[in-house]
Amino acid sequence: MQPDRPGLHPGKENDLTAELRLKGAPASRGYAIGPAFLFKRDIISIDDRKIEPSETEEQKDKFKKSIEQSNKELIKISTITNQKLGEEFSAIFDAQVMMLFDPEVTRLIHREIDQNLLTAEAATEKAYNLQIDLLRAAATDPYLAQRMADLEDVKFRILRNLQRGKLLSHVEDSSVIVSDNLTPADMILFSRQNIVGIALDFGGLTSHVALIARSLNIPLVIGLHKISASVKNGDEIILDGIDGNVIARPTQPVLEKYLKKKEKFRKFIAIFETGISEPAVTLDGKKINVLANIEFRDEINDMQTCGAEGIGLYRTEHLFLSRGYFPSEDHQFKYYSSLFSQAKDWPVTIRAFDVGGDKVLESSFHEMNPFLGWRGIRIMLDRPDIFKNQIRAILRASVGRQVKLMFPMVHNLTQVHQIKDLMEEVYLELDRKEIPYQKVPVGVMIEVPSAVIMSEEIAREVEFFSLGTNDLTQYTLAVDRGNDIISSLYRELEPAVLRLINRTVLSGHQAGIPVSLCGELGSNILATPLLIGMGMDDISVVIRRVPEVKYLVKNLRMEDCIRLKDEILALGTVGEVEARLKSWLTEHLPQFAGYI
Residues that bind ligand PEP (CB under 6 A): 313, 315, 354, 447, 468-471, 518-519
We find the least distance from the C-beta atom of residue 518 to ligand PEP, in angstroms, to be 5
- From ligand PEP, Mg ion, none, which one binds at residue 88 (CB under 5 to 8 Å depending on kind)? none
Q: Does 471 bind Mg ion (CB under 5 A)?
A: yes
Nearer to Mg ion, 150 or 354 (CB): 354
We find the least distance from the C-beta atom of residue 482 to ligand PEP, in angstroms, to be 11
Given a contact cutoff of 8 angstroms between Cβ atoms, the answer to whether 366 and 144 are in contact is no
Q: Is 561 designated active site?
A: no
We find the least distance from the C-beta atom of residue 499 to ligand PEP, in angstroms, to be 17
Nearer to Mg ion, 200 or 542 (CB): 542
Nearer to ligand PEP, 354 or 538 (CB): 354
We find the least distance from the C-beta atom of residue 162 to ligand PEP, in angstroms, to be 41
Q: What is the dihedral of CA 115, 119, 122, 124, to 10 degrees?
A: 80
Nearer to ligand PEP, 407 or 584 (CB): 407
Given a contact cutoff of 8 angstroms between Cβ atoms, the answer to whether 477 and 494 are in contact is yes
Nearer to ligand PEP, 73 or 447 (CB): 447
Instruction: Report how far Cα 359 is from the mean position of its chain's Cα atoms.
Output: 11
Q: What three-state secondary structure class fits 421?
A: helix
Q: Does 508 bind Mg ion (CB under 5 A)?
A: no
Question: Among residues 110, 208, 318, 411, which one is catalytic?
Answer: 208
In angstroms, the CA 229 to CA 36 distance is 12
Given a contact cutoff of 8 angstroms between Cβ atoms, the answer to whether 498 and 577 are in contact is yes
- From the list 4-12, 30-38, 89-97, 463-471, the region that binds Mg ion by CB under 5 A is 463-471
- From Mg ion, ligand PEP, none, which one binds at residue 177 (CB under 5 to 8 Å depending on kind)? none
- From ligand PEP, Mg ion, none, which one binds at residue 469 (CB under 5 to 8 Å depending on kind)? ligand PEP
- From ligand PEP, Mg ion, none, which one binds at residue 518 (CB under 5 to 8 Å depending on kind)? ligand PEP
We find the least distance from the C-beta atom of residue 496 to ligand PEP, in angstroms, to be 16
Q: Is 208 designated active site?
A: yes
Nearer to Mg ion, 307 or 468 (CB): 468
What is Dmax (Cα atoms) for the chain? 87
In angstroms, the CA 515 to CA 466 distance is 6
- From ligand PEP, Mg ion, none, which one binds at residue 240 (CB under 5 to 8 Å depending on kind)? none
Residue 536 φ then ψ, to 5° = -55, 135
Given a contact cutoff of 8 angstroms between Cβ atoms, the answer to whether 219 and 237 are in contact is no
Terminal alpha carbon distance of the chain: 21
Q: Residues for the chain: how many in total?
A: 596
We find the least distance from the C-beta atom of residue 145 to Mg ion, in angstroms, to be 21
> Which residues from 81-140 bind Mg ion, rule CB under 5 A?
none
Tell me, what amino acid is at 506?
Answer: L
What is the b/e burial string over 202-237, where b = at least 16 CB atoms within 10 angstroms of the residue's CB? bbbbebbbbbbbbbbebbbbbbbbebbebbeeebbb
Nearer to Mg ion, 208 or 351 (CB): 351
Q: Does 537 bind Mg ion (CB under 5 A)?
A: no
Question: Among residues 110, 306, 411, 518, which one is catalytic?
Answer: 518
- From Mg ion, ligand PEP, none, which one binds at residue 203 (CB under 5 to 8 Å depending on kind)? none
The radius of gyration computed from the CA coordinates of the chain, to the nearest angstrom, equals: 26
* HSE-up (13 A, CA, CB side) for residue 447: 28
Q: Where are the beta strands (DSSP E) in 386-449?
A: 403-407, 442-446
We find the least distance from the C-beta atom of residue 583 to ligand PEP, in angstroms, to be 27
In angstroms, the CA 458 to CA 411 distance is 10
> Which residues from 390-449 bind Mg ion, rule CB under 5 A?
447
Residue 115 φ then ψ, to 5° = -95, -40
Which residues would be at the binding site for Mg ion (CB under 5 A)?
447, 468, 471
User: Would you name the residues annotated as active-site residues?
Assistant: 208, 518
